[in-house]
Structure 1
Amino acid sequence: MHELKHLVNQLLSKPSSQKNEEPADFNIEGNDNSDGNELGAIFYSGQYHGQNGYRWMPQQKSVTQLLELNSDKVSKILAALGNKQRLDILTAVMRKPLTGPEVVEQLNMGTTGQLYHHTKALLGADLIVQEERGGKYSLSPHRSLPFLLLLAASSDLLDTTDYMELAEARNNVGSYLGSSQSYDPHHLLSAVIENTLLEHQAGYCTEVTLILQNDNSITIADNGRGIPVHALPNSNKTNVQAILTEISHDHLSASILAPDGTKGIHLPVVNALSDRLIVEIRREGKVRRQEFKHGIPQTELLVTGVTKETGTTITFKPDQDIFRASFNQTTISNHLAALKEIYPNLKLEILQ
């Protein structure tokens, strides 16, 4: 663990590094600021190979024009499409035209009455068409491109749903930490340690080191396999980020239940309730690092070095607006002593 301890010291002393990107310099012929596009423009085109395939010529909308859209009408559009069942209907009939019973069966809607409630609104808004009474539904051809553009834009905003859940966790702390007005930060520590215990039980972790920092942050380092770092299928999000931010996917990490708590505390909750969390992963010959604040990524997963070791190091500082108490070395030592009796082959130590 000597290299591990050296890397921990580097991790704590290294300033936050965030990927800097220079703004793109688009030099489009004949497009200067004299045409009112001083804020820029959005260019789009595309093709669709489904039923009655289409190809759209390149189009342009100025940013100013988009920002000046009627907000009342835009909000009505988003509200109409924000209904999950309506969105499912639109995506289903865009893949191929479907009859009402086929939509009900495919989407497990239960009753045709529920379907017709939504199709009536979608037909009235000219978002879908029906061949004839009782015939198949399909997406209105001239709505195909706008609908696909909306989905494309939404795909770049999907991570915001995770951050909404993290914010909700911060607003409902008692669900995780109990009804006490003096929340105990040791519950967060126990949740992180629980994940190292799972790695030990799987036969990959033999050492866990805890380091108490002067600023009331704490580091938990193990010599397990290291959290997987690859990107998830059909996503730019890494496995690491998913494990640390997706509260609804509580199966991604181990959890503990605090006294009087009604929801388990797992790694995304630890992240959400921390003013700062840094994860460092030693895996596949590289050291990678990512930083979070209140659960929201502040950097990408960055390669910061090379190593022959494996393992995961998490350093977090509980949010002082939530936790009035500090970590107590005696409390932690007693907890580790109890764990040593249960896991005699696991080396547990605390440094300060």
Structure 2
Amino acid sequence: MISLERNFGAELDDLKAQLNELQQLVHSFIHAPERQEALSSKSLTIPNRAEQHSEDRDDSVVFFSGQYRGERHHYWREPQVRRSSDLSKMDSDKISRILSALGHKQRLDILKSVGAEPLTGAEIVDRLQMGTTGQLYHHLKALLGADLLVQEERGGKYMIPSHRVLPLMFLFAAASEILDTSDYIELTEARSQAGDFLGDSPEQYDVHLLLQSVLENCIAEHRAGYCSQVTIVLHQDGSITVADNGRGIPVHALSDSKKTRVQAVLTEMRSSLSASVQAPHGTKGISIPVVNALSQSLSVVISREGKIFRQDFKHGIPQNVLMTVGQSEETGTSMTFRPDPNIFSAGFRLVKLEEIIALITESYPELSIQLLHD
């Protein structure tokens, strides 16, 4: 079994490294020549805590600034202040018009393309494989009307107005911070459409299908030559633990986001990062994200690279970031989950568990599976 003893020394070392990296970033930003020049003409004084409590006791403020450096242009936005009370009073109708102009995949693709370099209509159609310029016209009209695009001259190239570049970058940056909410929407949909995965009879939803999905991933690791032992522990609270001695789910961040691979494995419904099983009369496969979504709680503990990592979920949604909780020379993944009693009317049964293990052992005699219970 995987030990959960914490190594506070290792955690402090990681924290110090992060603080040093942050200090270097702040230092380089403060000493950038462009920043010095901009701040010489206009500066912003951020009030201390005492001043904020005395002057803005019932209000909060947002401070922001930024710069965009491209191959041909460099934009700087001096520090700005927005009171949250003023933001809450913004015209919702106008905001919705702006967001509706942007709330279309092809329009966002157009903005990203012309943001990289000015393009003619024909070049946009070719780059985005839109088929005809007629299809492009409707989107261009909306973006031009919202002052998010300009055209050099009739028939010329399209580009983003210089005064809109940074606000759009701010918007994209903000969207990147909440990009993972799309995964959570799909997890919630999986819960509300559980029959697609479990069959058409709610009273017969089988929790053992979730276990089989987790075991299928252990089997895949075994077939790859890395897993020889699996331990299953049935707990008194109705939860179950599946621990293997495989490589451990990778913990590094994905190249295109801050999300770790383990979080992607557990939350991305449409990915093919995990194996799946098919329920009788189910129309969709039960993968690890489905197990996570249909569980009241799930915790994953991973041993690899000399460390032990842990992350907790509720109804599929992360409750914390991936944490380093200890050190270990072993490798493997331990997943503890409790099927949601609001979805499943019955829990795990020892007889059924023994049947599942017997079938797996028959097919994979070199994979050792141990069943324990509290």
Compute the TM-score of the two structures, normalised by the length of structure 1. Answer: 0.90
Summarize the alignment of residues 251-290 of structure 1 with structure 2, pairs less than 5 Å apart: 251-290=272-311
Answer yes or no: is the 8 Å Cα contact 1:221–1:311 preserved in 2. yes
Summarize the alignment of residues 170-319 of structure 1 with structure 2, pairs less than 5 Å apart: 170-182=191-203, 183-249=205-271, 251-319=272-340
> Partner amino acid for 1:135?
G
- Across the aligned residues of Structure 1 and Structure 2, the Cα RMSD in angstroms comes to 2.1
Summarize the alignment of residues 1-352 of structure 1 with structure 2, pairs less than 5 Å apart: 4=1, 7=3, 28-29=46-47, 32=52, 34=55, 38-182=59-203, 183-249=205-271, 251-352=272-373
**Alpha carbons of structure 1 residues 35 and 197: separation in structure 2 relative to 1, 3 Å:** closer
Long gaps (5+) in structure 1: 12-18, 20-26
> Partner amino acid for 2:212?
S
Q: Deviations over 1:9-37 (max 9, x none)?
A: x79xxxxxxx9xxxxxxx82586453788
Return the alpha-carbon distance in structure 1 between the equivalents of residues 160 and 217 of structure 2: 47
Q: Count matched residues.
A: 333
Answer yes or no: is the 8 Å Cα contact 2:67–2:74 preserved in 1. no
Q: What is the identity percentage for the equivalent residue pairs of Structure 1 and Structure 2?
A: 53
Return the alpha-carbon distance in structure 1 between the equivalents of residues 62 and 160 of structure 2: 28
Return the alpha-carbon distance in structure 2 between the equivalents of residues 153 and 243 of structure 1: 24
Report how far residue 231 of structure 1 moved.
1.3
Answer yes or no: is the 8 Å Cα contact 1:288–1:304 preserved in 2. yes
SS at match of 1:148: helix
Q: Deviations over 1:44-69 (max 9, x none)?
A: 23133244432222222222222221
Q: Indicate the larger mover: 278-287 or 227-236.
A: 227-236
Return the alpha-carbon distance in structure 1 between the equivalents of residues 270 and 372 of structure 2: 34
Return the alpha-carbon distance in structure 1 between the equivalents of residues 285 and 56 of structure 2: 56
Report how far residue 257 of structure 1 moved.
0.9
Long gaps (5+) in structure 2: 7-14, 16-44
Compute the TM-score of the two structures, normalised by the length of structure 2. Answer: 0.85
Return the alpha-carbon distance in structure 2 between the equivalents of residues 35 and 161 of structure 1: 35
Return the alpha-carbon distance in structure 2 between the equivalents of residues 306 and 324 of structure 1: 39
> Partner amino acid for 2:248?
G
Return the alpha-carbon distance in structure 1 between the equivalents of residues 59 and 289 of structure 2: 41
> Partner amino acid for 1:318?
P
2:24 aligned residue: none
Answer yes or no: is the 8 Å Cα contact 2:98–2:146 preserved in 1. no
